């Protein structure tokens, strides 16, 4: 399988990369140059390919097939697959009532700015290092972009990215459930991050 990839900017006009320090203040970080890709797959017209070039030069990517099957790649190898049975599943039914026909969703691409707040727990999983944390964020957003652009004509652009490097300053540390995290995120981004341009925030 051959992926036909073109570099496409993932970071938007309002991209801002920073970390929160032990004292609570923020420090601007300098990211590597844009390194995300988007494309097609030879022999699979409904599939989309995407990924990023890691800091060591290796390409980490994915092929998202039309029916939901996904291949995850690293370099020239497929390292993981997901939902393989979906590709050959045929025991489905279309709705009997009226529905839309192809193209009625329009043809214009819409965009939104997505901010990402990396919790201290997630930062720890990334080895407590800014570079692999940003790699994880950008790969995840690259996957989201590929799916949204193909299936919904919506393109996310990465906005402000915050790394919570100290659990004692992390507003989400100790949150008992997802509802509480969402409440804390709303307060944090409306009060302390009110100067950021974004439509959505992912924690």
- Dihedral sign for Cα atoms in the order 63, 160, 20, 177: negative
Residue identified by tokens 């974004």 is 198
Per-residue pLDDT of 161-180, as tens digits, reads: 999 999 999 999 999 999 99
- Dihedral sign for Cα atoms in the order 14, 19, 24, 25: negative
pLDDT for the residue numbered 45: 92
Percentage of the chain modeled with pLDDT above 70: 99
Per-residue pLDDT of 78-93, as tens digits, reads: 999 999 887 777 787 7
Per-residue pLDDT of 10-29, as tens digits, reads: 999 999 999 998 999 999 99
Which residues neighbour 201 within 8 Å (Cβ) at sequence distance 6 or greater?
114, 115, 116, 117, 185, 189
Which residue ranges form the domains of the chain, and what is each CATH number? Answer: 3-89+109-202 (3.40.390)
């Amino acid at each position: 399988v051959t992926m036909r990839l073109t570099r496409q900017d993932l970071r938007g006009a309002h991209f801002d990369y920073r970390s929160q320090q032990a004292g609570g203040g923020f420090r601007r970080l300098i990211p590597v140059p844009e390194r995300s890709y988007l494309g097609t797959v030879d022999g699979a017209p409904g599939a989309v390919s995407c990924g990023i070039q890691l800091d060591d030069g290796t390409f980490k990517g994915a092929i998202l097939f039309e029916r939901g099957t996904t291949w995850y790649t690293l370099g020239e190898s497929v390292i993981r697959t997901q939902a393989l049975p979906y590709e050959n599943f045929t025991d489905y039914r279309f709705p009997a009532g009226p529905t839309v026909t192809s193209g009625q969703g329009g043809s214009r691409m819409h965009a939104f700015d997505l901010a990402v707040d990396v919790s201290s727990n997630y930062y720890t999983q990334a080895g407590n290092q800014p570079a692999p944390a940003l790699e994880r964020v950008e790969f995840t957003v690259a996957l989201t972009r590929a799916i949204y652009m193909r299936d919904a004509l919506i393109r996310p652009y990465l906005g402000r990215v915050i790394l919570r490097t100290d659990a004692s300053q992390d507003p989400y540390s100790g949150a008992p459930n997802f509802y509480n995290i969402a409440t804390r995120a709303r307060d944090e981004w409306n009060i302390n991050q009110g100067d950021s341009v974004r439509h959505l925030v992912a924690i």
